[in-house]
Structure formats: C-alpha cells, structure tokens
C-alpha cells in the first residue's frame, strides 16, 4: 500500500501534545498521528451508521422479515397501489389507533 502525504495545520499546543504523546509510546510523531487518524476513521464508521435502516439495526429495532411475512408480499404491487387500497379501508387509521391507545398526553 502506497502512502500519500497530507499537510494539516494545527495549533502549536496540539502539535506539542502529539509530539509528547508520540514519544511516550515510542513512536515518531507522524507515525503516531497517522495511527490516530486511522483509528478515528474506523471508529467513526463503526459508531455512525449511514442510513436509517443501519441506525435501527444497530439499536436492535429492526429485524429481517419472517418467512411468513415475506410470503405475503405481492410481486409487482407498487407503494401507490398499497396506499390507495389502505385509503379505501374502513375504520380508523393506524395513527388514530396508536394515539387512542396511548391516552392523553401528560
């Protein structure tokens, strides 16, 4: 793997901390700074999922559809068609049912 060079302007105090801490762990400041950046990138990617689905999965709030639910999917039906069918359904909407079961706001 080839290495690329990047110049980063940092405050003098930060530079001095990098030099001091690198020497404490027995590494050259540039080597230690590179390792810090690589670790920060890995941590960021693991901690910050990119999509709503990934966030919900990371929180354990989403799981794959069961086989029985998957069997109920009708191929070729569009979201607009589903919305139209639900709009014609009798009775309260799901939002109304949920609000009613929650009770009054405190």
Same domain for 50 and 20: yes
Q: What is the b/e burial string over 11-32, where b = at least 16 CB atoms within 10 angstroms of the residue's CB?
A: eeeeeeebeeebeeeeeebeeb
Same domain for 71 and 52: no
How many domains, the chain?
A: 2
Q: Is residue 2 part of a domain?
A: no
pLDDT band at 21 (very low <50, low <70, confident <90, very high): very high
Question: Could you tell me the residue range of the domain that residue 52 belongs to?
Answer: 12-58
**What global pTM score does this model have?**
0.42
Same domain for 20 and 51: yes
Determine which of 12-16, 37-41, 49-53, 61-65 has the lowest per-residue pLDDT on average: 49-53
d(CA 71, CA 106) in angstroms, rounded, equals 41
Residue 59, both tokens: 């929180």
């Amino acid at each position: 793997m080839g290495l690329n060079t990047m110049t980063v302007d940092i405050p003098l105090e930060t530079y001095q901390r990098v030099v001091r801490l690198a020497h404490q762990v027995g590494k050259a400041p540039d080597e230690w700074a590179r390792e810090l950046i690589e670790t920060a990138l890995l941590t960021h990617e693991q901690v910050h999922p990119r999509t709503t689905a990934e966030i919900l999965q990371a929180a354990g709030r989403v799981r794959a559809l069961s086989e029985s639910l998957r069997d109920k999917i009708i191929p070729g039906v569009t979201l607009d068609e589903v919305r139209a069918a639900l709009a014609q359904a009798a009775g309260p909407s799901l939002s109304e049912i949920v609000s009613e079961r929650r009770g009054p706001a405190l």
